């Protein structure tokens, strides 16, 4: 149990386009999902906290108009990178916290975004 | 507020030798503590977690960690390293009973295992 999926696993896009990444909790409900960004050989940096049915809470320095987060259901959150640029190239990882268990987050496998 | 310090960005051990990855935390509330492993181009896999039960926590793949409140530490150990243990390891902390607070990660320690 407690599986989180991300789609796509890899995406390559041209500069200026938008890319949507999906994060799904497959066998549990998650009122809260988190989006992280990981630079090469670096740790995970929290971008935003996504709560089902409400606006996401963004960390300081993260542009909410560039990184659009939608958490429309208890099993799905999406991150849209708008007007992507090469500096947005990174590994994006989501995690989900079960409504019934607040002591653990379950991580997706990550999405590798490359912007040309 | 919570923070995590992982001492040593890179640790190298011989196959069969003891693995010790250090983690110190800071937390203004009683913490939950976690160790995750990440293989190249993959997500994070939970190795073990401390959630206020036994202070010595056993995880997967032969790893264990001991919560020491007096030292604010949660070091990860494994008696005998295997080649397959080579990966990036992250220590993380969150506040107990903190609702929807996210995990705070250390900067990670890359473990190399030498044959």
Tens digits of residue pLDDT in A55-97: 899 999 999 999 999 988 889 999 999 999 999 999 999 999 8
Which residue, among A45, A95, A102, A109, would best test binding to B if mutated, counting the most B CBs under 10 Å from its CB? A102
Q: Which residues in chain B have their CB less than 8 angstroms from residue A95's CB?
A: 44, 102-103
State yes or no: pLDDT of A104 exceeds 80: no
Q: Which residues in chain B have their CB less than 8 angstroms from residue A93's CB?
A: 43-44
**pLDDT band at residue B94 using 50, 70 and 90 as cut-offs:** confident
A42 part of contact set with chain B, CB < 8 Å: yes
State yes or no: pLDDT of A99 exceeds 80: no
| CA atoms within 13 A of residue A88's CA, in its CB half-sphere | 26
Closest CB from B43, B97, B98 relative to A108: B43
Tokens of B77: 């150990």
Closest CB from B51, B100, B108 relative to A43: B108
d(CA B48, CA A96): 17
Residue range B16-31: mean pLDDT, rounded: 93
Region of A110 please: left (phi>0), alpha (psi -120 to 50) or beta: left
Distance from A104 to chain B by nearest Cα, in Å?
8
Determine the length of chain B: 115
Percentage of chain A modeled with pLDDT above 90: 66
- Whose structure tokens read 């992250």? B90
User: Edge to edge, what strands does the sheet with B19-27 contain?
Assistant: B2-7, B19-27, B73-78, B64-68, B56-58
Q: Which residue in A has a C-alpha nearest to residue B45's C-alpha?
A: A107
A32 part of contact set with chain B, CB < 8 Å: yes
Alpha helices by DSSP H, listed for B1-115, are none
Identify any residues that bridge with B68 across adjacent strands, giving them in sequence order.
B73
Closest to A97 in 3D by CA, of A71, A62, A66, A116 = A71
DSSP A31-45: SEEEEEEE-TT--EE
Higher-scoring residue by pLDDT: A113, A101: A113
State yes or no: pLDDT of B95 exceeds 70: yes
Closest to B4 in 3D by CA, of B113, B102, B112 = B102
State yes or no: pLDDT of A101 exceeds 90: no
Q: How confident is the model at residue A98, as a pLDDT?
A: 77
The angle formed by the CA atoms of residues B34, B37 and B39, to the nearest 5 degrees, is: 160
Q: How confident is the model at residue A102, as a pLDDT?
A: 61
Q: By the 8 A CB rule, do B31 and B96 touch?
A: yes
Q: How confident is the model at residue B99, as a pLDDT?
A: 52
A31 part of contact set with chain B, CB < 8 Å: yes
Which residue, among B37, B44, B49, B104, would best test binding to A if mutated, counting the most A CBs under 10 Å from its CB? B44
């Amino acid at each position: 149990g407690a599986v989180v999926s991300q789609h796509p696993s890899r995406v390559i896009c041209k500069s200026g386009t938008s890319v949507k990444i999906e994060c799904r909790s497959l066998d549990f409900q998650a009122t809260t999902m988190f989006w992280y960004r990981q630079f090469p050989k670096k740790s995970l940096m929290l971008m935003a906290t996504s709560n089902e049915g409400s606006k996401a809470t963004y960390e300081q320095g993260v542009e909410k108009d560039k990184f659009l987060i939608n958490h429309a259901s208890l099993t799905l959150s999406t991150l849209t990178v708008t007007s992507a640029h090469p500096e947005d190239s990174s590994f994006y990882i989501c995690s989900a916290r079960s409504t019934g268990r607040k002591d653990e987050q379950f991580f997706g496998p990550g999405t590798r975004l490359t912007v040309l | 507020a919570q923070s995590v310090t992982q001492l040593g960005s890179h640790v190298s051990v011989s196959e069969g030798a003891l693995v010790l990855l250090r983690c110190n935390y800071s937390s203004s509330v009683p913490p939950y503590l976690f160790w995750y492993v990440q293989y190249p181009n993959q997500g994070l896999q939970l190795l073990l977690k401390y959630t206020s039960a036994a202070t010595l926590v056993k995880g997967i793949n032969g790893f264990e960690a001991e919560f020491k409140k007096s030292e604010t530490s949660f070091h990860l150990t494994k008696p005998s390293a295997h080649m397959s243990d080579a990966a990036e390891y992250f220590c993380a902390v969150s506040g107990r009973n903190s609702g929807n607070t996210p995990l705070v990660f250390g900067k990670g320690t890359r473990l190399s295992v030498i044959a």
